Amino acid sequence: MELAAIERHTREALPGWATADLTLSVIDKGGSGRLFVRIGETDGDRSLIAMHYGLDRADNPRFASITDFLNRRGVAAPSIAARREDLRLLWVEDLGEIDLGNLAGTAWETSRRPAYESALRAVFPLHCVYEDSAPDDLPELERPFDESLYEWERNYFLTHYVERFHAPEVAAELRQDPSLAALGRELAGHRRSLVHRDFQSTNVMLRDGGSFLIDYQGLRWGLPEYDLASMVYDPYSEFTIKETGELVDFYFSLKEEAGHAESRQAYGRRLVQCAMQRLMQALGAYGFLGEVKEKREFLAHIPVAKARLLDLSRKEGGLAVLGDLLG
């Protein structure tokens, strides 16, 4: 959609801005294929984000209904100021320009650690909504994490990362290894709750000392540790072993406070397994976006993601075969 059309529809949808002097600027964000435009008053403080989405991805149209659901439950997410779903156009609260990733290089104790803990607190209410006691007002979700979805993610990894950056023969050997399928079966056997699905540093905005979730249209049933792994093993971020451990401990303390206590060993094993699964998905995405979609900037994240995958392969619950074949 052209900027002139977005401006015209903005004036129609928001009567208070019908005659205002507006400034529009495109926001370059992510690989979802959506168009984001920041709209602000030239001589005022008000601003919104216009989001125009296509139908090439099934999750894009779900953003509005999921936002409404999160707002009703008090989850930290933007509100929708206006909508023209016939035009696939939404006007969403502007949360600013600072996300967790912008804190890279700042002090851990006084800057990054409090912000990441805030982000974990923001997502934790989702993890307390369980599939076996689902609320009546739950909107339509993406397909849940089950054995077939875990298999799809692994195939994505094998096709778009291993075949492209290692060798087809290595991918073929991994496809035959029983430990990969066993990982999916074990993860699929756990109780599921709501998960963000893409809970990483660029999808948490920081404003007024708090954290807000964005890009949650992929909300679905899954394992909370998948979200946790997406954050603490995020290839977009650099953590020391100590810093990762502190965030893992903090999330475990949230579970204990909420009465969801379990053995630390079981929690740690499941986190490693989810992290392996998540990093395989991420590497597949980087290969697909970088090579097929020719968005070369995503290729820069491959070395960190690979290093973390190989490190996890040596831990309890990890896939040792990945370290053997990809190391």
Q: What is the pLDDT of residue 324?
A: 94
Residue 307 amino acid letter = A
Q: What is the pLDDT of residue 181?
A: 96
* pLDDT tens profile 165-181: 999 999 999 999 999 99
Contact 326, 283 (CB under 8 A): no
Each of the 327 residues of the chain gets a pLDDT tens digit; together they read 999 999 999 999 999 999 999 999 999 865 567 899 999 998 888 999 999 999 888 899 999 999 999 999 999 999 999 999 999 999 999 999 999 999 999 999 999 999 999 999 999 999 999 999 999 999 999 999 999 999 999 999 999 999 999 999 999 999 999 999 999 999 999 999 999 999 999 999 999 999 999 999 999 999 999 999 999 999 988 899 999 999 999 999 999 999 987 899 999 999 999 999 999 999 999 999 999 999 999 999 999 999 999 999 999 999 999 999 998
Domains in the chain with CATH codes: 3-93 (3.30.200), 100-326 (3.90.1200.10)
CA–CA gap between residue 201 and residue 205 (Å, rounded): 8
Q: What is the pLDDT of residue 261?
A: 77
CA–CA gap between residue 76 and residue 73 (Å, rounded): 9
Q: What is the pLDDT of residue 32?
A: 63
DSSP secondary structure code for residue 237 in this structure: S
DSSP secondary structure code for residue 17 in this structure: G
Give bridge partners of residue 35 from the DSSP assignment. Answer: 52
Q: What is the pLDDT of residue 180?
A: 96
Q: What is the pLDDT of residue 30?
A: 55
Own/partner contacts of 102-106, CB < 8 Å, gap of 24 or more, are: 102/206, 103/206, 104/237, 104/238
